Structure 1
Amino acid sequence: MSGPAAPALDPLRRVHYAHFYGEPDRSDRPGPAPDGSVVVVGNCQAESLRLLLDPHGRRSVRIPPVFELEPDDVGRLHALLARATTLVVQPIHAGYRGMALGTDQLAAHLPAGGRTVVVPSVRHNALHPAHVVQHPPPGTDPLPVVPYHDLRVVHAALHGGDPVRPVREDGVREVAAASLAELVRREAGTTVAVSDVLRDPHPDQMRTVNHPGNPVLLALAGRAAAAAGLPAPVDPGRPLLASVRAPVEAAVAATWGFARAPEHDHWWLDGVPVVAAEVTEAHLEWYAAHPAETRAVWARHERQAGRLGLAR
């Protein structure tokens, strides 16, 4: 694959995204054909969708998630799109991070007759009602262990109280309803939707608030494939997007009426269990060292905290 000269990169990054950077990968498989290709762009969910839409890697290449793309990558991505037939993309605002990575900006590089399928970025709180994602400002130490704030722990850091208080059923249901309504709202600007799949919560739907499980990913990929005229995906027989799995609390399982598996007691990081109390302790230490960032998390998510009965 030709394109702009690759920037100086971490060698592991160059290997991981070998075809994107114009190099053969270590499997010795050839890259995809220069035309008839599918380009999938978005956050961490995009790679799982690509694997479902193109399980043999014959029509697509692995590219970095949009939040990792660097200025030198943009021309390479635009060149890839110029030879593609289909762009599957999450909603991305124009000029994202100062680069021409917006949904419409990317679609403009498709050749005549190229098809764009906009898919939602899935976030849902039914299984993890107290969890939120908010990255600290650049240059700030990242949240340790896992990048998910628990609003009960944030509340305890700012206002005192029990950082592991059980969630109430009414709070679980109210947060889930608000989360689903927000997804439906965002789907108004997409080609396909998936919110209907999340209306009946079960433990395989979401591994974290922003990592869907295989049933959700398969449904979304199937709808995207139908819209793009691609073959229907099949279950790969292994969990996708599974590097992090958050615990599902007993009160949450009881709310939705499913059995709670023993592994739901822990966080799972790359297949290794981490005791939830260790995460809570590490986060409390981080909040104590970063009071301004902690207040910013609370301010942004105070409405969700209120649904859980957490008062200022």
Structure 2
Amino acid sequence: MSLTADPGTISAPSETSVSARRRHYAEFYGLAPLPADFGVVLGNCQAESLRTVMDAEGRRFVRVPAVHEMTAEDAERLHEVVRSAHSVVTQPVRDDYHGLPLGTRQVAAATDGRVLTLPPVRFGGLYPFQASIRIPAFEESLPIVDYHDVRTLAATAGIPVASALPPDAVRAIGQSSLEVLRTREALTDVAVSDLFDEVTADHVRTVNHPGNAIWLPLGVRVLGVLGLGGGVTDPGRPLLNAVHAPLLPEVVDAWSLADQPRDHWIVDGAEIDDAEVRAAHTDWYASHPGLVVAAVGRLTDLLAVWRDA
């Protein structure tokens, strides 16, 4: 599967923001020397979480920008950096991604190091109402949180759906997302789906933001495949923690979670009522009817579960 860019309004960055970004990726941009021996983890926001748990003193993995943020200058620099890397761990990226030579095959051709692929991780079983999709014709992001709620989408489109799902339907959505993950991982080098054999609330914060319950064992697995020892680095903080979706009662029931249901979002530490989010999205959909039609077409299977519940 190819990565899909995160949309957003692109504006000219200030000199201060450019400088801060370059300092954040100091080794990548040559503001600090590259380690004598290092690897690279490449992909979307998930790649940085994996890099964080694998990076350690004496076992370095250099921080690089996410591929959807890379410029032509960054792509050129990436090819220079991976030339010296002992390994490149990467999510599959299509050739000429964003018109730049960032494809997995293109990056692999630039290095003599080992190239290891693993799939992007998505799991719908904890947030069965939620979808993260990108429709190229619509670049603008949803307000507050950039995730579609099929209940809100269905109401806008006039499609009758249930207000809640039975636990078996929640588990079915989870299994469906794991089937997709297994299909993707069959084309890569590292398996991930079995890490969901037992589900906890820490497995994913949103459908596409896994938590430490994934990153720590996955880091152990990737290091083992690379033949690198020493154990993973526990960051001492939750990874991909900026956004937490509501946790429905039927989800807690379906997976026998130890957590209490939560009817609000948590965004950068602040609680936001789900009703506020859904109202903002309803207004936004009203001014973007073409996207509603396209999104309904993309989410047919998920809508069918809610319609038939």
User: What is the TM-score of this pair, normalised by structure 1?
Assistant: 0.87
Instruction: State the match for 2:118 in structure 1.
Output: 119
Q: Once structures 1 and 2 are overlaid, which stretch shifts more, 135-144 or 253-262? A: 135-144
Residue deviations 1:186-235 (CA, integer Å, cap 9, x gap): 00011111101112222111111011110111111111111112232142
The verdict on how the C-alpha distance between 1:191 and 1:44 changes in structure 2, with shifts beyond 3 A counting, is: same
CA distance in 1, matches of 2:180, 2:266: 27
Once the two structures are superposed, residues 228-264 of structure 1 have per-residue CA deviations (whole angstroms, 9 ceiling, x without a partner) of 12232142221111111111101111111123336x3
In structure 2, list runs of 5 or more residues that go unmatched: 1-14
Deviations 1:51-87 (A, max 9, x none): 1110459623221111111122111000000011010
- Aligned counterparts of 1:17 and 1:301: Cα–Cα separation in 2: 37
Superposed, 1:47-62 pairs within 5 Å as 47-56=48-57, 59-62=60-63
Larger CA deviation: 216-225 vs 133-142: 133-142
Aligned-residue RMSD, C-alpha: 2.2
Q: Secondary structure at the match of 2:86?
A: strand
State how far apart, in whole Å, the 1-side matches of 2:155 and 2:57 are: 48
Distance 1:156 1:56, change over 3 A: farther
2:20 aligns to what?
A: 12
1:194·1:219 contact (CA, 8 Å) conserved in 2?
A: no
Which residue does 1:28 correspond to in 2? none
SS at match of 1:197: helix
Residue 217 of structure 2 aligns to which amino acid in structure 1?
Answer: A
From 264, 267, 270, give the equivalent of 1:269: 267
CA contact (8 A) 1:120 1:186 kept: yes
Matches within 5 A, 1:156-175: 156-159=155-158, 165-175=163-173
Q: Is contact 2:42–2:66 with CA below 8 Å preserved after alignment?
A: yes
Alignment of 1:134-283 (within 5 A): 134-137=133-136, 140-159=139-158, 165-231=163-229, 232-261=231-260, 264-283=262-281
Gapped runs of 5+ residues in structure 1?
1-7, 25-30
- Aligned with residue 284 of structure 2, among 268, 286, 289: 286
Task: Give the structure 1 partner of residue 107 of structure 2.
Answer: 106
Amino acid of the structure 1 residue aligned with 2:117: V
SS of the equivalent of 2:26 reads coil
In the aligned structure 1, how far is the partner of 2:96 from the partner of 2:205? 30
In 2, Cα distance between equivalents of 1:303 and 1:266 = 26
- Is the CA contact (8 Å cut-off) linking 2:150 and 2:303 kept in structure 1? yes
Counterpart in 2 of 1:4? none
CA distance in 2, matches of 1:297, 1:222: 37
Q: Which amino acid aligns with 2:76?
A: G
Q: Deviations over 1:153-190 (max 9, x none)?
A: 1001111657x822232321221111111101100011
Query: Contact (CA 8 Å) 2:160, 2:307: kept in 1 or not?
Result: no
What's the secondary structure of 2:302's corresponding residue?
A: helix
User: After TM superposition, what 4+ stretches of structure 1 lie above 4 angstroms from structure 2?
Assistant: none
Distance 1:139 1:176, change over 3 A: closer
Instruction: Specify the code of the residue in structure 1 equivalent to 2:70.
Output: L
Return closer, same or farther for 1:265/1:139 CA change in 2, 3 Å cut-off.
Answer: closer
Shift of 1:138: 6.4
TM-score, with length taken from structure 2: 0.88
Q: Distance in 1 between matches of 2:63 and 2:137?
A: 26
- Which residue does 2:44 correspond to in 1? 43
Q: Which moved more, 1:191-200 or 1:134-143?
A: 134-143
2:62 aligned partner, one-letter code: V
CA contact (8 A) 2:55 2:233 kept: no
Calculate percent identity across the aligned residue pairs: 41
Secondary structure at 2:41 match in 1: strand
Distance 1:66-1:179 versus aligned 2 partners, 3 A rule: same
Write out per-residue CA displacement over residues 35-65 of structure 1, whole angstroms, 9 at most, x where no aligned residue.
4211110111100111111045962322111
Alpha-carbon distance in structure 2 between the residues aligned to 1:306 and 1:57: 51
1:308 match: 306
Counterpart residue number, 2:80: 79
Deviation of 1:285 (Å): 0.8
Contact residue 168 and residue 308 of structure 1 kept, 8 A? no
**Deviations, residues 96-120 of structure 1 (Å, cap 9, x unaligned):** 2222111121111112xx2111122
CA distance in 2, matches of 1:211, 1:56: 26
Amino acid at match of 1:103: T
User: C-alpha distance in 1, partners of 2:190/2:275?
Assistant: 39
